[in-house]
């Protein structure tokens, strides 16, 4: 197993990409520490990991709270050790013209998507530096690489994650710590489905798929597999990279 004996701390683990990663990492032998603001979602994720025979602990955590993030990471490290941080928690906003985004909405997106990643790195790096090893995978977005019209606040936040990933990787590489990001295109998770009925989403999904050379949107497992690769020893000489996972959208 690729992660046997390792512990992965995963934020946003209550649904979507975080849940898919928790399941995938558990399949490869990792102990999972799942964190999210959604306690019910965490319980569901924990049950899925346990059904796979994996070991799992949960923390109700708002990633905007740096003190709470450090406490959760410290507790996980004391109980299990810690080898991987998946900074995955994120939010978006409704599509709208740039001039229409209110300051409070902009700040909400930046606080979760940027400050949350910052807080996660601050929490885990003392442990990783002490043991001279560790892997951080940050969830950015294709919107952070090429931008998304009418998602300017989201694009701003994810672009920050991409560049922060490069900066922090260069800084902590000498300590044996790797830092990378994944940049998914539209993936079939609760975020893009928000506010739509199942029928509306299926129609939207079919329409969007036409713009992708592979003629489909991403599935959570597509991104979880890339996260697994970057977290594993197979990516031992890869750091500071933003891996685009978009079904070819950005080259079409």
Instruction: Strands of the chain (E only): list them.
Output: 7-11, 31-36, 56-60, 84-87, 134-139, 177-184, 242-245
Cβ–Cβ < 8 Å for 43, 59:
no
- Token representation of residue 247: 């079904």
The Cα–Cα gap between 143 and 121 comes to 22
DSSP letter string, 121-180:
HHHHHHHHHHHT-EEEEEE--THHHH--TT-HHHHHHHHHHHHHHHHHHHHHGGGTEEEE
Which candidate, 121, 34, 116, 43, places its Cα nearest to that of 80?
Answer: 34
- Token representation of residue 76: 């996980």
Catalytic residue among 69, 154, 164, 212: 154
212 is annotated as an active-site residue: no
Which candidate, 173, 175, 66, places its Cα nearest to that of 127?
Answer: 175
Beta strand 56-60 with 177-184 is unpaired
Cβ–Cβ < 8 Å for 172, 125:
yes
Residue with tokens 């740096």: 66
CA 166 to chain centre: 16
The residues annotated as belonging to the active site are 154
């Amino acid at each position: 197993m690729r992660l046997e004996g390792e512990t992965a701390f995963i934020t946003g683990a209550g649904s979507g990409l975080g849940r898919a990663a928790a399941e995938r990492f558990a399949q490869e032998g990792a102990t999972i520490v799942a964190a999210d603001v959604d306690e019910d979602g965490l319980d569901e994720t924990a049950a899925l990991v346990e059904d796979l025979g994996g070991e799992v602990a949960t923390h109700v955590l708002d990633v905007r709270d740096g003190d709470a993030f450090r406490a959760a990471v410290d507790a996980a490290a004391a109980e299990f050790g810690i080898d991987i941080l998946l900074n995955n928690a994120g939010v978006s906003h409704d599509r709208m013209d740039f001039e229409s985004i209110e300051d409070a909405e902009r700040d909400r997106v930046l606080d979760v998507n940027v400050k949350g990643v910052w807080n996660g790195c601050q929490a885990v790096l003392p442990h990783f530096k002490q043991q001279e090893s560790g892997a951080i995978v940050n969830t950015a977005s294709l919107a952070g690489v090429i931008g998304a019209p009418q998602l300017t606040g989201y694009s701003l936040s994810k672009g920050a994650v991409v560049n922060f990933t490069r900066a922090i990787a260069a800084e902590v590489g000498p300590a044996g710590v790797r830092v990378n990001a994944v940049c998914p295109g539209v993936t079939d998770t609760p975020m893009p489905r928000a506010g739509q009925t199942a029928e509306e989403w299926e129609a939207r999904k079919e329409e969007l798929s036409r713009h992708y050379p592979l003629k489909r949107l991403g599935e959570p497992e597509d991104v979880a597999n890339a996260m697994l690769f970057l977290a594993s020893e197979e990516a031992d000489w890869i750091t500071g990279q933003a891996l685009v996972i978009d079904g070819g959208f950005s080259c079409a």
